[in-house]
Structure 1
Amino acid sequence: MARAEQNPTILTVSESDSGRLDQYLVRELPSYSRSSLQNWIKAGLILVNGSTAKTGYDLSPGDVIEISQAEVDVKDDLDQPSVPLDILYEDDAILIINKPAGLTIHPGAGTKGQPTVASAFKAYMGAKALPGDQDRPGIVHRLDKETTGVMVLAKTTDALRHLAAQFKDKSNFREYVTLLDGVLPSDEMMIESYLYRDPRHRLRFASMTPEEYQIEVLNGRDMQGYRYAKSFFNKRKVYGNRLTLATVRLSTGRTHQIRVHARTLKCAVVGDNLYAPTLRLPQGFAPDIRTILESADRQLLHARRLGIIHPVDGRRLAFEAPLPSTFRSVLELLEKYNIAAE
């Protein structure tokens, strides 16, 4: 079992982040699993205002949380097979990769026996101790299993902490490319809402407008689990007055955010088997195009650009992952239907 040194981490609870201690930590420290954080609390490794607390402790604005864990166990084997990483950039602190479709970020329900980004990263780094939770070493942010594109992985504890802070305070830049089933009503659109687990479907998230959210708050409803999300959609091309090629810039980074917001705009991501209705293209599209898109088995969503501040020297860096060949081929076939030049 390898060991990774950890310096104490100090967090101060803001006005909008009160709630259960364990739930707060899951949101603030995405590189660690809920079970690990709960175990640290029970072991007295996490203090609130200088005292130990229970997992269900109700936080208040201004509370100071100290994570005094000195060491983190990192499994020498994540018990998962590995795959080669498509590396875009590497130095002593960070690794930038182009994630392929079908690769989950870290082990979880239904991933036993399957490779993950975490297992591939661990295999690539060999015996070197890695920062973060033992099941998700170096993981700073996530992409959905079928989403492709650029990701950053942290190779040191300081890099992990620095990068996690950037994702939290939105000082980084994330841009996606997607093909939508529908035509965006405006060339540029901003959508903001509160996302929450869909009570009718455990794998999906639902969306609530800010106005609806405020009404629920005024009515005294418990809004824990409702997370603010903001996306910017930019129309690039329209194909056959039916499909839109769009870029999407994230202001926040919630689970399924782009997919939920696209559905809210009535322009679901093509190939999204969770949020999109069955795709049936009009006869104006050639049979081969209709067959390819109507039978797509993954969402056409790609994380194209990522901008970060280097955790060691403070440089502003930008990385770009090329579109997967399958996505690129679809766009080439659609080009003859383009009715709005980029």
Structure 2
Amino acid sequence: MADDLELQEPDEQDLFEHLRIVVDNGQALLRIDKFLMNRIENASRNRIQHAITAGTVLVNGQQIKASYKVKPSDVISVVLPHPPRDTEIYPEDIPLDIPYEDDDLLIVNKSAGMVVHPGYNNYTGTLVNALAHHFSSFPQLPGNDGRPGLVHRIDKDTSGLLVIGKNEWALTYLAKQFFDHSISRKYIALVWGDVLQDGSITGYIGRSAKDRKVMAVYDDPDKGKWSVTHYHVLERFGYVTLIECQLETGRTHQIRAHLQSISHPLFNDAVYGGNRILKGTVFSKYRQFVDNCFALLPRQALHAQSLGFIHPTSKKKMEFSTPLPDDFRLCLEKWRAYTSWKELE
């Protein structure tokens, strides 16, 4: 059931409003910020002006200033971070690993097992509940009740880095980078099988017709949303391979569904078939070894290792990375030891 709930989280692209407005022929000249206030529900003038400054409001494909006056037949496109959900968020004193924080943003190293945002059956104990407590000493944000801003997410049982916007400007500026796919993100994954060479996986990701709890990769654009993952081999262990994945897009379960589609599902990914022995021998000692690895790493072997983006205020390139958590590291050590032992036989 929990995995089905996880799928209720939207794609990263869906965290943003992407609007296209064609101005009526009878429209009188009007400043674009005032015009959009009347056309976008719950959008303050301040929020719209931040979006214009960040370059996420285009008129006829061109960036404009807040003083621009709309004219009949203008085509306006808008990218805005979604406002917070209606679900009441209660601050909880949950310890967080925060490698970096400033006035605009913070980086969180999320542990496996933590849900990012409250939802059905997960109203407490989430990252957002923890952030609401962490932000309790900060001023209230207009229309946001002081709540932290998410611009991307990672699955409950995936560990690693997330960037959080602390004010409307930072949220808007970061949202544009995610929407434009200019954020650099790399994941470390342990997959079943011997991955022979580096490569890329593309396709349209949508819910599986056979099982609504999982995502599938299709060739048909009517069945899903376009997705791209690049992968690079880091280390081979014969029956499993350690790889690095770089995302171009941010679809629900993208890496998990992509790797399953090329017959290399994540090690111990119960949703995508990686929680059983897919490669290796039939000997009982090997089965016991894999079971021991599953016990050390009781989740999918996926870690969001690095993030790179342009800072909203300084405009400098920022890059962050975090080492593998203990469960992932200890599992790799067992595979290294097993591979060395097999080579000595």
Whether TM exceeds 0.5 here: the answer is: yes
Decide whether aligned partners of structure 1 residues 123 and 252 sit closer, same or farther in structure 2, where only a CA change above 3 A counts: same
Aligned residue among 103, 110, 131 for 1:92: 103
Counterpart for residue 180 of structure 2: 169
1:103-252 superposed matches below 5 A? 103-112=114-123, 114-127=124-137, 128-130=139-141, 137-186=148-197, 188-209=198-219, 212-213=220-221, 223=222, 226-239=224-237, 241-252=238-249
* Contact kept in structure 2, 1:189 and 1:233, CA below 8 Å: yes
Aligned counterparts of 2:115 and 2:84: Cα–Cα separation in 1 = 22
Aligned counterparts of 2:165 and 2:190: Cα–Cα separation in 1 = 30
SS in 2 for 1:230: strand
Counterpart for residue 56 of structure 2: none
Aligned counterparts of 2:274 and 2:326: Cα–Cα separation in 1 = 25
Decide whether aligned partners of structure 1 residues 323 and 285 sit closer, same or farther in structure 2, where only a CA change above 3 A counts: farther
Aligned counterparts of 1:68 and 1:92: Cα–Cα separation in 2 = 21
Q: As a proportion of its length, which structure holds more helix?
A: 2
TM-score normalised by length of structure 1: 0.71
Larger radius of gyration between Structure 1 and Structure 2: 2
Asked if 1:307 corresponds to 2:308, the answer is yes
Q: Quick one: which amino acid aligns to residue 64 of structure 1? A: I
What is the Cα-based RMSD across aligned positions, in Å? 3.3
Q: Quick one: which amino acid aligns to residue 272 of structure 1? A: D
Counterpart for residue 273 of structure 2: 276
SS in 1 for 2:185: strand
Q: Identity, % of aligned pairs?
A: 31
Aligned counterparts of 1:189 and 1:298: Cα–Cα separation in 2 = 25
Aligned counterparts of 2:86 and 2:261: Cα–Cα separation in 1 = 41
Counterpart for residue 78 of structure 1: 89
Decide whether aligned partners of structure 1 residues 236 and 284 sit closer, same or farther in structure 2, where only a CA change above 3 A counts: farther
Decide whether aligned partners of structure 1 residues 290 and 134 sit closer, same or farther in structure 2, where only a CA change above 3 A counts: farther
String of CA shifts for 1:298-324, please: whole Å, max 9, x gaps: 101000010011011110011011111
Aligned counterparts of 1:299 and 1:135: Cα–Cα separation in 2 = 33
Asked if 1:46 corresponds to 2:40, the answer is yes
Asked if 1:260 corresponds to 2:260, the answer is no
Counterpart for residue 3 of structure 1: none
Counterpart for residue 15 of structure 2: 30
SS in 2 for 1:269: coil
Decide whether aligned partners of structure 1 residues 92 and 136 sit closer, same or farther in structure 2, where only a CA change above 3 A counts: closer
Q: Quick one: which amino acid aligns to residue 335 of structure 2? A: L
* Contact kept in structure 2, 1:130 and 1:137, CA below 8 Å: no
Cα displacement (A) at 1:199: 2.9
Moved over 4 A (4+): 25-29, 65-69, 72-77, 130-136, 284-288
Aligned length: 275
TM-score normalised by length of structure 2: 0.71
> Can you give the 5+ residue segments of structure 2 that lack an aligned partner in the other structure?
1-9, 18-36, 42-60, 62-73, 341-345
Cα displacement (A) at 1:91: 0.5
Decide whether aligned partners of structure 1 residues 136 and 179 sit closer, same or farther in structure 2, where only a CA change above 3 A counts: farther
Cα displacement (A) at 1:201: 2.1
Aligned counterparts of 1:338 and 1:144: Cα–Cα separation in 2 = 30
SS in 2 for 1:110: coil
SS in 1 for 2:333: helix
Counterpart for residue 64 of structure 1: 76
Decide whether aligned partners of structure 1 residues 132 and 235 sit closer, same or farther in structure 2, where only a CA change above 3 A counts: farther
Aligned counterparts of 1:309 and 1:68: Cα–Cα separation in 2 = 18
* Contact kept in structure 1, 2:268 and 2:274, CA below 8 Å: no
Aligned counterparts of 1:183 and 1:302: Cα–Cα separation in 2 = 20
SS in 1 for 2:99: strand
* Contact kept in structure 2, 1:122 and 1:137, CA below 8 Å: yes
Counterpart for residue 291 of structure 1: 291
Cα displacement (A) at 1:204: 1.1
